[in-house]
Structure formats: C-alpha cells, structure tokens
Amino acid sequence: MCQHQPACPSADSADREAAHLVAHFPQQGWSLLCNGVLVFEDTGELLPDGQIIAPHRPLGTEQIVTAA
C-alpha cells in the first residue's frame, strides 16, 4: 500500500503510527495513515484487518493529582 521510500511501517508493526498521513479529519476526530490504519483523536486505532487497538494515552506527570 505504501509508495514511500523507505517504506512506512506496516499496519501490524509496533511503530505503525509512524506511517505518513494520507487524510486528516480533525472535525471528525480521525486520520488515515498510508498503511491503512485509522488513528483516532483519543489514540485508539482501527487496523485494516478490523482489529481494534484501545486508546493508549500516556499518563503524564501534569495529570497526576495528589490529595493534600
């Protein structure tokens, strides 16, 4: 599917999100990568074979709340 040189990571590789952006629809909250992966604003993904990858936002230190 990818015509880039060097080729983008495949949809089943761990670094699949590094593929080139083909379409971007921020108003709908999703983007399509050249490897066929749909990436959603919440960091979830839909792979070309229909497999769903759950959102995987990292918990940054600015989001940690401690009780006083």
User: Mean pLDDT over all residues of the chain?
Assistant: 86
CA 66 to chain centre: 30
Residue 7 pLDDT greater than 60, yes or no: yes
Residue 58 pLDDT greater than 80, yes or no: no
Q: What share of the chain is helix, strand, coil (3-state, %, to 5)?
A: 10, 25, 70
pTM higher than the cut 0.85: no
Assess contact for 31 and 23: CB atoms under 8 A: yes
Both ends of the chain: CA-CA distance in Å? 53
- Give the pLDDT confidence of 12-44 residue by residue, as tens digits: 999 999 999 999 999 999 999 999 999 999 999
Q: Give phi and psi for 16, each to the nearest 5.
A: -55, -25
